[in-house]
Amino acid sequence: MSVTIKSAREIELMKAAGEILAKVHQNLEEELREGMSTWEVDRIGEEIIRSYGCVPSFKNYQGYPASVCVSVNDEVVHGIPNKKHRLQEGDIVSLDIGLIYKGYHSDAARTHGIGTISENASRLIQRTRQSFFEGIKNAKSGNHLSDISNAIASYAESFGYGVVRELVGHGIGANLHEEPEIPNFKTRRRGIKLRSGMTLAIEPMINEGRLDVEWLDDDWTVVTQDGSLSAHYENTVLITDGEPEILTLTEKEKSMM
């Protein structure tokens, strides 16, 4: 399959899917508290998704057992919710959520702090978020994919952070994962030319320490090899002839921009 250009009708559905996912993130963030298990985070997240009449896209995707990927501290992505794992003050927790609305997907991730977190942790979260915005400054039709990737990487690397290479962003639409792959690091390829009507999930995963990651024995959870903290920030984005449209921003985020 090649990169798809969405029709006007598909774009309307993608926008609706994105708006709902933004609400899911905002609602779930409000529920987060110390002492809650990561299993509860998933259960509440799934309830919220279904309350909007949507289907969680991660559940059973290639055998992934939950609706929300909950990744704590040195867990980079794809953490599996667990009744015994309780959130503690000072933790940082990445919530990655995908849903389907009338056949169309949205995908977004945020990293939150539990209670008071260290200066280092909060800087990592902010800078990971900012690396996404640096990237999409270049998400204009006519530019190449590498313009996004390079901007994310140079920004994150300027702080000495490790940019994860084993996992990448992706096209999104009637499928969760479509072409193209979207690296967050510099490569020797220019990548495809961006065109109006493409919808992309751009998702920097940034480690406070080295870029190396490894997989736990559950075959899902990705952790930093050096045990350093990791943050994740992802939105579903629409490429236009002008500025890109971010389809999964929460109202809270929009009001702060």
Report the interface residues with ligand MF3, using CB under 6 A: 58, 61-62, 64, 69, 78, 96, 98, 107, 170, 201, 203, 234
* Binding residue for Co ion, selected from 19, 42, 46, 107, defined by CB under 5 A: 107
13 binds, among Co ion, ligand MF3, none (CB under 5 to 8 A by kind): none
Q: Token pair of 257, please? A: 């921009």
Compute the Cα dihedral for 140, 144, 146, 147 and give only its sign.
negative
Q: Which is nearer to Co ion, 57 or 146 (CB)?
A: 57
Q: Which is nearer to ligand MF3, 19 or 203 (CB)?
A: 203
How many CB atoms are closer than 10 A to CB 70?
26
- Where does this chain touch Co ion (CB under 5 A) — which range of 43-51, 55-63, 100-108, 149-157? 100-108
Q: Which is nearer to ligand MF3, 108 or 120 (CB)?
A: 108
Q: Token pair of 195, please? A: 């065109």
Angle, CA 68 vertex, CA 145 and CA 199 arms, to 5°: 25
- 163 neighbors 157 (Cβ within 8 angstroms): yes
Q: Which is nearer to ligand MF3, 25 or 170 (CB)?
A: 170
Q: What is the C-alpha separation between 208 and 66, in angstroms, rounded?
A: 27
Query: Residue 62 Cβ, how far from ligand MF3 at the closest point, in Å?
Result: 6
User: With binding defined as CB under 5 A, does residue 201 bind Co ion?
Assistant: yes
Question: Shortest CA distance to 252 belongs to which of 98, 26, 17?
Answer: 26
Which DSSP symbol is given to 88? -
* Contact residues for Co ion, defined by CB under 5 A: 107, 201
